[in-house]
């Protein structure tokens, strides 16, 4: 990787992480670094792009290719990234008068796709850092307009609310890290955790909260629906910083994590 700020050993560790080959303790350490080190996060996104390109170009074979399909491509974002790259490759082959007949990747058909679908695939194929920057800029504009038009009406005793979606396999799998601010007088944070569609419903769930020091504790589930779990964290039990939530179904770890920051 030209201009890389991480060592070869770190790059190999990231690839193992993406392919589901790291121990859980090493996964947690890497995910916490992703939350706190922007430069490492950019390098991570670059490795994700390279792995997707290698898969599309059929440069991965055997067990490594199988692991990409079982772990790396569990993320909707990455599947769309691969489809987008495959479509570009197919177009290049057509323009050269050939066709990559041996490719094992089925490209997305370009014909008949609407402009919004093309925009969505393009957006989801971009790096996490770029999407985060764009999303934050858009959010700032929206919040500014709302603050001008609507007077603040937050009152003491109101929970800060978060709706989190599981990032499949790790932080960069389709779910952006959200931030929440605890106002003075707020009793705490109320978090709605969307249950992953691809995982069968469990009879019982356990929710584990981890901070940047990797200390952990279980969060009580205050409400459960068919599609989500609700947990609350009292204001006096949480501080500013980055957090990871892990989910267990029937005491088995469900792959992926939820991420959020407290400002």
| Model pLDDT, residue 154 | 44
Q: Are residues 27 and 79 in the same domain?
A: yes
Instruction: Provide the 3-class DSSP secondary structure of residue 242.
Output: strand
| Model pLDDT, residue 117 | 53
Name the domain boundary from 81, 111, 129: 129
Kindly state whether residue 47 falls inside one of the protein's structural domains: yes
Kindly state whether residue 140 falls inside one of the protein's structural domains: no
Lowest mean pLDDT among 81-85, 128-132, 224-228: 128-132
Q: Are residues 258 and 176 in the same domain?
A: yes
Q: Are residues 86 and 164 in the same domain?
A: no
Q: What is the number of domains present in the chain? A: 2
Answer yes or no: is pLDDT of 44 > 60.
Answer: yes
| Model pLDDT, residue 256 | 84
Q: Are residues 79 and 163 in the same domain?
A: no
Lowest mean pLDDT among 57-61, 94-98, 233-237: 94-98
Contact assessment for residue 125 and residue 156, using Cβ atoms and an 8 Å cutoff:
no
Answer yes or no: is pLDDT of 208 > 60.
Answer: yes
Closest among 176, 164, 191 to 136, alpha carbons compared: 176
Average pLDDT of span 110-127: 53
Q: Are residues 117 and 224 in the same domain?
A: no
Name the domain boundary from 94, 129, 164: 129
Kindly state whether residue 173 falls inside one of the protein's structural domains: yes
Average pLDDT for the chain: 78
Q: Which domain holds residue 34?
A: 8-129
Answer yes or no: is pLDDT of 232 > 90.
Answer: yes
pTM of the model: 0.49
Q: Are residues 113 and 19 in the same domain?
A: yes
User: What CATH number does residue 250 fall under?
Assistant: 2.60.40.10
Greater confidence (197 vs 193) lies with: 193
Q: Are residues 124 and 12 in the same domain?
A: yes
131: region left, alpha or beta (phi > 0 left; psi from -120 to 50 alpha): alpha
Q: Are residues 31 and 96 in the same domain?
A: yes
| Model pLDDT, residue 113 | 47
Q: Are residues 169 and 204 in the same domain?
A: yes
Kindly state whether residue 232 falls inside one of the protein's structural domains: yes
User: What are the backbone dihedrals phi and psi of residue 164, each rounded to the nearest 5 degrees, phi first?
Assistant: -115, 140
Answer yes or no: is pLDDT of 183 > 90.
Answer: no
Contact assessment for residue 4 and residue 44, using Cβ atoms and an 8 Å cutoff:
no
Question: Residue 197: pLDDT band by 50, 70, 90 thresholds?
Answer: confident
Kindly state whether residue 258 falls inside one of the protein's structural domains: yes
| Model pLDDT, residue 85 | 76
1-5, 23-27, 164-168 — most confident range? 23-27
Q: Are residues 99 and 162 in the same domain?
A: no
pLDDT digits (tens, 9 = 90+) for 125-180: 566 666 666 666 777 887 776 666 654 444 456 899 999 988 764 544 444 678 99
């Amino acid at each position: 990787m030209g201009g890389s700020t991480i060592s070869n050993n770190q790059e190999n560790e990231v690839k193992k992480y993406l392919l589901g080959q790291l121990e859980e303790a090493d996964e947690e350490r890497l995910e916490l670094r992703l939350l706190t080190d922007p430069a490492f996060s950019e390098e991570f996104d670059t490795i994700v792009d390279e792995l997707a390109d290698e898969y599309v170009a059929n440069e991965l074979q055997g067990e490594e290719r199988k692991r990409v399909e079982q772990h790396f491509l569990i993320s909707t974002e990455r599947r769309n990234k691969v489809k987008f790259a495959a479509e570009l490759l197919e177009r290049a082959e057509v323009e050269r008068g050939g066709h990559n007949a041996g490719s094992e990747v089925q490209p997305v058909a370009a014909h008949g796709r609407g402009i919004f679908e093309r925009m969505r695939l393009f957006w989801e194929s971009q790096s996490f850092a770029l999407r985060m920057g764009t999303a934050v800029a858009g959010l700032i504009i929206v919040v500014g307009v709302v603050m001008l038009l609507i007077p603040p009406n937050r009152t003491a005793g109101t929970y800060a609310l978060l709706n989190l979606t599981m990032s499949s396999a790790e932080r960069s799998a389709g779910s952006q890290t959200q931030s929440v601010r605890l106002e003075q007088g707020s009793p705490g944070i109320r978090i709605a955790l969307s249950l992953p569609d691809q995982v069968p419903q469990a009879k019982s769930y356990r929710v584990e909260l981890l901070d940047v020091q990797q200390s952990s504790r279980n969060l009580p589930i205050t409400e459960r629906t068919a599609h989500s779990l609700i947990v609350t964290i009292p204001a006096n039990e949480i501080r500013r910083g980055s957090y990871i939530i892990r989910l267990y179904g029937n005491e088995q770890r469900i792959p992926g994590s939820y991420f959020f920051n407290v400002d």
